[in-house]
Amino acid sequence: MRVYFAGSIRGGRQDAALYSELIGFIKRYAEVLTEHVGDQSLTGDLGEGYNASYIHSRDLDWLKSSDLMIAEVSTPSLGVGYEIAMAIHLKRKVLCLYNPRKGRKLSAMIAGSPDVEVYAYTDIEEAKKTIDTFLGGGDG
């Protein structure tokens, strides 16, 4: 199974450690095409250091070759929103994980989409249980 993991890069890297832990967990089940999202050395200012056209083409190729998408959407990101829309267009199953921290609201376009499974969690263990169920590894 090939998973496209999405999380904010240029929109803010405050959740990079969380992304890294989630990616490590997902790798127990599947190949993660976008492991770099969890790289804690990436910054929001510099991103990956590649030009935008390269990143766009590469990421769309990865998304097309994926079986499904898991996105951590607590930090708002235009890029992640774009990737979710493309995953829906490509008929991929999409799981969006959201931690409803103070001052953050989930976009109605994500929360209201019938093509996205949204799960609000309060700690990493809840998020992992949801991933486990989504990937067919168990019931929690």
Q: What is the pLDDT of residue 44?
A: 56
Q: What is the pLDDT of residues 41-84, one digit of tens each?
A: 765 555 566 788 998 999 999 999 999 999 999 998 999 999 99
Query: Hey, which bits of 10-136 come out as E strands?
Result: 31-32, 68-72, 93-98, 117-120
User: What is the rounded (10 degree) CA torsion for 65, 98, 107, 67?
Assistant: 10
Averaged pLDDT of the chain: 90
Whether 23 has a pLDDT exceeding 50, the answer reads yes
**CATH T-level topology, domain 2-134:** Rossmann fold (3.40.50)
CA–CA distance, 1 with 29 (Å, rounded to integer): 8
Please compute Rg for the chain using Cα positions.
Answer: 14
Average pLDDT over residues 127-133: 96
Looking at the chain, the whole-number percentage of residues with pLDDT higher than 90 is 70
Average pLDDT over residues 84-108: 92
pLDDT band at 14 (very low <50, low <70, confident <90, very high): confident
The DSSP line for 95-109 is: EEEE---TT----HH
All structural domains of the chain with their residue ranges:
2-134
CA–CA distance, 91 with 85 (Å, rounded to integer): 10
Q: What is the pLDDT of residue 140?
A: 44
Q: What is the pLDDT of residue 135?
A: 94
